[in-house]
Amino acid sequence: MIVEQLSLVDFRNYAAAELSLAPGANVFVGRNGQGKTNLAEAIGYFATLGSHRVSQDAPMVRDGADAAFVRARLAHGQRRVQLEAQLNRAGSNKARVNGSPVRTAELPRYAQVVLFAPEDLQIVRGDPSARRRFADQLLIQRAPRLAGVLADYDRVLKQRNALLKSARARGIRGDGLSTLEVWDDKLVTLGTDVIRARLRLAAELTGPVARAYAAIAGADHRPQLQWALSVGGADPEEDDSPTESGVADAAAIEQLFRAALADRRSTELERGITLVGPHRDDLILRIRDLPVKGYASHGESWSVALSLRLASAELLRAESTLGDPIVILDDVFAELDADRRSRLAGIVADYEQVIVTAAVAEDVPLGLRARTVRVEAGTLHEDSDAAV
């Protein structure tokens, strides 16, 4: 799969831009703040329905505009598909495929992207939300229907929290809030679906992550992935050193979920917040049998972060009918030493399309400098200074 054409209107610092891309490596070079990452962000949106930099869509709409438009023509062999996303500053976003309106959640069916960025270090070193976000974005790419499941879970969670806050304000305690059971049922049904999908993902990532880590770091530090589940008694959001839950049978999750909600009912009413569910879970990463967070060196942490993305690309490549995922390296090489730069470039070089952003062209290994576009204040130029 490749992006043949990208069009932006009122997206970030681009009032309007048109860009043609080629198979193989495409490099965007420019000083910080010129708009390189905005191009990567726009392409990635089709695959994950989100940004790797912000959690809301509004910042992607140019100042003074009500909506941003991102259009891309994707090619897989002889097949072509035209995707369009309309990101509204207020209200629901809209989407089109080949000119026909579709639900926004349909877009990931047509686009698969693996994006590496400096922010990826937060997957390893940041709070649990960064790891949940990584997992959920990959889940959406592998099974687009989960975009709807995750959105529905978030909606039910917000409504349940609103009910808990209202009950706290009215002084309701214990079993005095019978209407909560309706939201419990919805939360458990949707949340169980999310938890099961995440557990399967961790199991399927383990082998590819180990191979990728050895390729990047040149050492076997036995990387491991395991979910700490709040339904199993862990509370990663409040414990800096969470213990993995011993949940082995995914079919038992729903029962555990209901029991955990019942056990925390009084505390939830006191605090006005839902304390059990996949929104409280964490993906525990280990090397050498130690948690990466707090124990790994800077280089080891980068190797784990890169391994997670490389493993994601491997999974998508193995099971996709659309060809290779588009690989985007957003300002990554500046963060790596020469050895890791070379190793990473060698691993991704054979993907159908690789898009690289860099402030300094010399940071990009020679094998990935096939075509260069210079970015200056939202204006795009070929290396020959001819506008694209």
Band (pLDDT 50/70/90 cuts) for residue 386 is: very low
The confidence score (pLDDT) of residue 170 equals 82
CA 109 vs CA 139, 143, 197, 229: distances in Å? 12, 8, 17, 29
Give the CA dihedral 264, 265, 268, 270, nearest 10 degrees.
-120
Band (pLDDT 50/70/90 cuts) for residue 220 is: confident
And the tokens for 192? 């169980």
And the tokens for 201? 């993902």
Average pLDDT over residues 126-152: 91
Give residues with Cβ within 8 angstroms of 81, minimum separation 6. Answer: 73, 74, 97, 98, 110
The confidence score (pLDDT) of residue 337 equals 86
The confidence score (pLDDT) of residue 242 equals 56
How many Å separate Cα 365 from the centre of its chain?
A: 26
Q: Work out the percent of the chain whose per-residue pLDDT is above 70.
A: 94
Give residues with Cβ within 8 angstroms of 236, minimum separation 6. Answer: 128, 228, 230, 242, 280, 281, 282
| Residue 2 · residue 326 · CB < 8 Å | yes
CA 48 vs CA 35, 266, 366: distances in Å? 20, 37, 30
**Phi, psi (rounded to 5 degrees) for 257:** -60, -50
Band (pLDDT 50/70/90 cuts) for residue 26 is: very high
Name the pTM for this structure.
0.85
Average pLDDT over residues 360-388: 79
For 30-77, give the DSSP string: --TTSSHHHHHHHHHHHHHSS-SS-SSSGGGBPTT-SEEEEEEEEEET
Band (pLDDT 50/70/90 cuts) for residue 219 is: confident
Give pLDDT tens digits for 327-355: 999 999 988 888 889 999 999 999 999 99
Helix, coil or strand: residue 8: strand
The confidence score (pLDDT) of residue 387 equals 36
The confidence score (pLDDT) of residue 248 equals 55
- By CB atoms closer than 10 A (0-12, 13-18, 19+), residue 86 is middle
337-364 burial, b at 16+ Cβ within 10 Å, e below that, comes to eeebbebbbebbeebbbbbbbbeeeebb
The confidence score (pLDDT) of residue 378 equals 84
> Which neighbouring-strand residues pair with 68?
87
And the tokens for 35? 């708009």
Degrees, nearest 5: CA angle 4-9-15: 120
Give residues with Cβ within 8 angstroms of 208, minimum separation 6. Answer: 310, 311, 314, 315
Q: Which of 92-101, 232-241, 319-328 ranks highest by mean pLDDT? A: 92-101
The confidence score (pLDDT) of residue 246 equals 57
The confidence score (pLDDT) of residue 176 equals 59
Band (pLDDT 50/70/90 cuts) for residue 143 is: confident
| Residue 200 · residue 213 · CB < 8 Å | no
Average pLDDT over residues 90-103: 94
Integer Cα distance of 328 and 118 in angstroms:
12
Average pLDDT over residues 91-102: 95
The confidence score (pLDDT) of residue 158 equals 96
Average pLDDT value over all residues in the chain: 89
Give pLDDT tens digits for 159-176: 999 999 988 888 776 565
Average pLDDT over residues 36-56: 89
Band (pLDDT 50/70/90 cuts) for residue 385 is: very low
Report which of 107, 88, 101, 94 is spatially closest to residue 45, judged by C-alpha positions: 107
